[in-house]
Amino acid sequence: MVFIMAGRISAQTSKPDSLNIIEGVYVPTTEQKNQISQLNLEFARKIHEFQQANPDEANKGKRKKEALKLNQQREMALKQALGEGNYLLYQKNRLSKAYNDTLKQNQLKKVEKIKRELGLSAEQVTQLYSLKTSFERQKRMIGQTPAIGQEEAREKIVALKKVYLEKIKLLLPVEKYELFVKSE
């Protein structure tokens, strides 16, 4: 692990910068995105090399254990490179199935609460849920896009939120829209 220690000691104690959090989405800096890509490629190469060196069926269990071990090392290297706080945010924003399921459950709860508070019809609730889920998914995807910087991500997320709110405005009557915006 000497390869990650030298230039990344300062990241160990770093806390998430509020500039990295755009509309609730952690957006790594360009340097952090490069570190993440470099570490992912490095560990993918190690896993591939190990699998190529042990291709037979008898070593299947050994390959799985080694892949698990290397993935754990990669996660530790990411945590060390990004710092504890940034790593937790990065991990949370990954597009995993578990996170998507949690997101859906949270969105359903929020939409049900809004339905009760605003007295919406079932059709409005369905459309609202669809818009909200789509907005959250697109927002996270922008935050994780490696090819764009923080400022561009911020601009895209702000523009996305404007479009989202315009769609909500078309869906709800004015008084209900205002209540919805306050509850956001």
| pLDDT tens-digit series, residues 97-139 | 556 666 667 777 777 787 788 888 888 888 888 888 888 888 8
Domain span including residue 157: 97-183
Q: What is the mean pLDDT of residues 166-183?
A: 87
Question: Rounded distance, CA 132 to CA 124, Å?
Answer: 12
Q: Are residues 49 and 71 in the same domain?
A: yes
Q: Residue 86's pLDDT band (boundaries 50, 70, 90)?
A: confident
Give the bridge partners for 138, in sequence order.
none
> Pick from 76, 93, 110: which residue ends a domain?
93
More confident residue, 59 or 14: 59
Considering the domain architecture, whether residues 17 and 76 belong to the same structural domain is answered as yes
Q: How many structural domains comprise the chain? A: 2
- 153 or 143: whose pLDDT is higher? 153
| Inside any domain, residue 4 | no
Residue environment code for 17-44, b if the CB has 16+ CB neighbours within 10 A, otherwise e: eeebebbebbbbeeebbebbeebeebbe
Q: Are residues 29 and 105 in the same domain?
A: no
